[in-house]
Amino acid sequence: MKNLTFVLFLSFILTGCAMQAPTAPAVSNEFTLGKVQSQLSNGMSSSEVVSLLGSPNLVTSTKDGGEAWTYDKISQESESSSVSGAGAGSSGNFFGIFGGGRSKSSNSSKNLTLIVKLNAEGIVTDFKYQSIKY
């Protein structure tokens, strides 16, 4: 009985690991400044732009029957560090346990905006981008 229980347990473990569902490969259509500068160009079709950058945040119609696609990405970066002293010192701590120490943190934000103009046939005629870090 013990052997049967062990064999069943072992078979459940092994088949559970062997039956993982396949995952689809991730499609990289992240909107970055590098992609805009190196891969986006006039003459591209709207489907090429979508496969490169993903769907736009905003689509507006233009007077000539085309469209203006707006992409907007805001990212934030945070960094923090702290230092605590060891032993009694001028900062008033005692062996790194009581008081003292310093901490430093910084936050920055980046905003990347891209406007792609397409003609009535869905071909890129112009694009402008702006990158701001604050």
Specify the pairing of strand 67-83 against strand 124-133. unpaired
pTM (whole model) above 0.95 = no
Ordered by where they begin, the domains of the chain are 30-79+105-134 (3.30.1450.10)
pLDDT in tens, 25-49: 554 567 889 999 999 999 999 999 9
pLDDT in tens, 72-119: 999 888 877 776 655 555 555 555 555 556 777 888 899 999 999 999
